[in-house]
Structure 1
Amino acid sequence: MFDIGIAKIMLVAGIALVVIGPERLPRVARMAGTLIGRAQRYVADVKSEVNRSIELEELSKVREQFETAARDVSQSVSSGLNDATRDVNAALGQHVDSDTPTYEPYNWDSTPAPAYKPPKKNWRIKRSAVPQWYKKSENVRRHVQSGAARVARFRPARSTRSL
């Protein structure tokens, strides 16, 4: 892309050292590095956006081709079905107009959906995932108890003897 060799880079670095000075050169180099990094990120973003738009165009073309193929298949199937029904009706001796379709598509809306019945539940009774008999046999706590109540419950009994 650019014809820059080591000698040219060294020449530019030497001129920058003389013009800018050794005190400000590291700061300027850092700033140049960040600007170059930003430029590279911007170029990469633009490239990815262009690639996305190209892929989107290709996908839209494929979608259009698929839709036309599906339309062609649908038309050929319906024309074949019409021809077959016309031939069957002609063989049976019935007369059918060729303008009207001879088959009726299934109407999905004709069957009503079953009505929703809410389940019968007694909402006042708490239902747990673990049965009570299991909790009792495994000594699982079944009732919530505060920390102070738990301490009072398990505190050893006081003895009346004094030392």
Structure 2
Amino acid sequence: MFDIGFLELLLIGVVGLLVLGPERLPRAARTVGLWVGRIKRSVSGMQREISAQLEAEELRQKLAEQDRKLNAGLDKARRDVERSVEGEPSRREAASPSPADTADPAAHEPVEASTAPESAPPASADKDSTPR
């Protein structure tokens, strides 16, 4: 911050001793020390706040950049899906046969299934045949 060497401090001390005298110099030095400490703490607090704000701004910029990239990727994917959906109906029409093209109309009728197996004996006959 300031480039104050030993000789400058010695000169300030001698001038202070001559101006203030030996009785008031220690109290004045203590007061100056307290003020310098407060100023240093204030400056370091401001530096911390400024650096925190800069870091927050950098994070906001990175977040905005990632958001732009994500939106660009989503837009590209949406366009790809829209293109594939727009081109799909012509493929469906070519792939699915029309009802008039089917040769066997019975192929579309439902098949009835029997509910009981043919080889199983009735359940009531099982109870009657067991000896008591």
TM-score > 0.5 by shorter chain: yes
Deviation digits for residues 26-65 of structure 1 (CA, Å, limit 9, x no counterpart):
1111111000000001111111111122112212211111
CA distance in 1, matches of 2:43, 2:69: 39
Structure 1: give runs of 5+ residues left out of the alignment: 95-163
The answer for the alignment partner of 2:81 in structure 1 is: 81
Q: Which amino acid aligns with 2:51?
A: N
Residue type at the aligned position of 1:20: L
Aligned to 2:26: 26
Please state which structure has a larger fraction of its residues in helix.
2
One-letter amino acid of the counterpart of residue 32, structure 1: V
Q: TM-score, length-normalised on structure 2?
A: 0.64
Q: Hey, what does 2:63 align to over in structure 1?
A: 63
Q: Which residue does 1:48 correspond to in 2?
A: 48
Tell me the residue number matched to 1:147: none
CA–CA separation in structure 2 for the residues paired with 1:19 and 1:74: 76
How well do the aligned residues superpose, as a CA RMSD in angstroms? 1.7
Structure 2 segments unaligned to the other structure (5+ residues): 95-132
* Structure whose alpha-carbon radius of gyration is higher: 2
Higher relative contact order (CA 8 A, sep 6+): 1
With normalisation by structure 1, the TM-score equals 0.53
Q: Distance in 2 between the 1:8 and 1:48 partners?
A: 31
Structure 2 residue matching 1:93: 3-state secondary structure:
helix
1:38 aligns to 2:50 (yes or no): no
**1:91 matched residue in structure 2:** 91
1:11 & 1:50 partners in 2: Cα distance?
36
Q: Distance in 2 between matches of 1:33 and 1:5?
A: 17
How many correspondences in the alignment?
94
Shift of 1:3: 4.0
Partner SS, residue 4 of structure 2: coil
The runs of 4+ residues in structure 1 deviating greater than 6 Å are none
